[in-house]
Amino acid sequence: MNSREGRRILVRGVVQGVGFRPWVWRLAQQAGLAGRVFNDGQGVTIEVFGAPAALDRFIAGLEQTPPAARVHSRQIETIANQDASEFIIAPSGPAGEPGRRVSIPPDIATCADCLAEIEDTHARRFHYALTNCTQCGPRFSIAREIPYDRVHTTMAAFAMCADCRREYEDPGDRRFHAQPIACPACGPLLLLVDADGAALDVADPAGPAGRLLAAGKILAVKGIGGFHLACDATSSAAVCRLRERKQRDEKPFAVMVRDLRAAEALAVLDNAERALLTSVERPIVLVKRKGDSGLAPEVAPENPMVGLLLAYSPLHHLLLSQADRPLVMTSGNLSEEPIAFDDADAQSRLAKIADAWLLHDRPIENPCDDSVGRLIAGQPVLFRRSRGYVPRSIALASPVAPLLACGAHLKNTFALAQGRDAYLGPHIGDLDNLATLVAYERAVARLQRFVGIEPEIIAHDLHPSYQSTRYALARPEACKIAVQHHHAHVAAAMAEHGLAGPVFGVAYDGTGLGSDGTAWGGEILLADFAQFERLATLRPISLAGGDLAIQQVWRLALAVLDDAFAGDPPMDALALFKLIPAGEIALCRRMIAEKLNTPLAHGAGRYFDALGAIGLGATHSHFEGQVAMRWNFVADAGEDRRYDFALDATRRPWLMDLRPMVRQATMDIVAGRAPAVVSARFHNTLVAVTAEVLRLLRQEHGNHPVVFTGGCFQNARMAESLRAALSPEFAVHLPGQVPPGDGGLALGQAVVADALAKRL
Q: Which of the residue ranges 84-98, 229-243, 430-444 would you say has the lowest mean pLDDT?
A: 84-98
Q: What's the CA angle centered on 9, arms 3 and 132, to 5 degrees?
A: 120
Q: Which of the residue ranges 145-149, 230-234, 407-411 would you say has the lowest mean pLDDT?
A: 145-149
CATH at 232? 3.90.870.40
Domain boundary among 89, 112, 129: 89
Residues 702 and 629 in one domain: yes
Residues 208 and 293 in one domain: yes
Residues 399 and 418 in one domain: yes
Residues 479 and 605 in one domain: no
Residues 562 and 490 in one domain: no
Q: Has residue 210 been placed in a domain? A: yes
Q: Has residue 531 been placed in a domain? A: no
Give me the pLDDT at residue 385, please. 97
Q: Has residue 148 been placed in a domain? A: no
Q: Has residue 128 been placed in a domain? A: no
Residues 401 and 416 in one domain: yes
Assign 97 a pLDDT band (cuts: 50, 70, 90): very low
CATH at 431? 3.30.420.360
Q: Has residue 677 been placed in a domain? A: yes
Residue 33 belongs to what domain range? 5-89
Q: Does residue 355 register a pLDDT over 50?
A: yes
Phi, psi dihedrals of residue 594, rounded to the nearest 5° = -95, 5
Residue range 31-52, pLDDT digits in tens: 999 999 998 877 899 999 999 9
Q: Has residue 680 been placed in a domain? A: yes
Residues 326 and 424 in one domain: no
Say how far apart CA 740 and CA 338 lie, in whole Å. 22
CATH at 676? 3.30.420.40
Assign 93 a pLDDT band (cuts: 50, 70, 90): low
Q: Does residue 325 register a pLDDT over 60?
A: yes
> For residue 750, what are the CA distances in angstroms to 213, 396, 627, 754?
44, 11, 32, 6
Residues 590 and 721 in one domain: yes
DSSP of 453-469, one letter per residue? ---SEEEEES-TT-HHH
**Domains contained in the chain, number:** 4
| Helix orientation angle between 626-633 and 604-616, rounded to the nearest 10 degrees | 70
CATH at 75? 3.30.70.100
Residue range 242-299, pLDDT digits in tens: 999 998 888 999 999 999 999 999 999 999 999 999 999 999 999 999 988 899 999 9
Q: Has residue 173 been placed in a domain? A: no
Residues 478 and 562 in one domain: no
Residue 362: which of 117, 133, 191, 591 has the closest Cα? Answer: 191
Residues 729 and 747 in one domain: no
Domain boundary among 44, 66, 89: 89
Residues 613 and 589 in one domain: yes
Contact between 210 and 216 under an 8 Å Cβ cutoff? The reply is no
pTM equals: 0.92
Domain boundary among 323, 344, 372: 372
Q: Has residue 255 been placed in a domain? A: yes
Residues 727 and 751 in one domain: no
Contact between 410 and 742 under an 8 Å Cβ cutoff? The reply is yes
Residue 421: which of 43, 25, 23 has the closest Cα? Answer: 43
Give me the pLDDT at residue 65, please. 85
Omega of the bond prior to 660 within 30 degrees of 0, cis? no
